Amino acid sequence: MSKTKQSPVERRLARLTDAVREAGIKLTHQRIEIFRELAGTEEHPDAETLFEAVRKRMPTVSLDTVYRTLSTLQELGLVKTIGQQGGGTRFDANIEPHHHYVCVSCGMIRDFESKELNSLRLPGTVRQLGTILDANVEVRGLCAKCQGRKKASTRPKSKSS
């Protein structure tokens, strides 16, 4: 009997269901929809972006509910936060080992995997600072879209006679 392979979103939703039951937390429709929205995107949205997306399907959801749900999901280990220079906290429902590429121009964040980076050994000086709970690499640069815009804006204008 072959078992159908679950999508990443389905695996994350199953993890959500298990974690909230184990923690004795009520699994509300709003919590499911907020998590489903986050789990179904690669955009690493902030709370306000999640709120706007969920509100399209659930007009009664409040921004406060989104913030409280994200806080609860973080406490349960179901989402991670990603800091961004000059921006608010962004969230990621992918808690598997992975790393991030961040565009310094538009703020786009994408996941990437690397077994080599996962196995990096942290120097002793980091361990002296305190307990390490998690480590990942954040690569910063210009995404292809922004790089294309930059090249287009630096091209010399053609002269018309």
47: number of Cβ within 10 Å: 21
pLDDT by 10s per residue, the chain, length 161: 445 788 888 999 999 999 999 999 999 999 999 999 999 998 889 999 999 999 999 999 999 999 999 999 988 989 888 865 556 788 899 888 999 998 888 888 999 999 999 998 889 898 889 998 888 888 988 999 998 887 777 766 555 54
158/161 Cα distance (integer angstroms): 10
The tokens of 121 are what? 């050994």
112/114 Cα distance (integer angstroms): 7
The tokens of 10 are what? 């389905």
**DSSP H or E run through 62:** none
Strands 90-92 and 109-112 come out as unpaired
Domain annotation for the chain: domains and CATH numbers: 8-94 (1.10.10.10), 97-154 (3.30.1490.190)
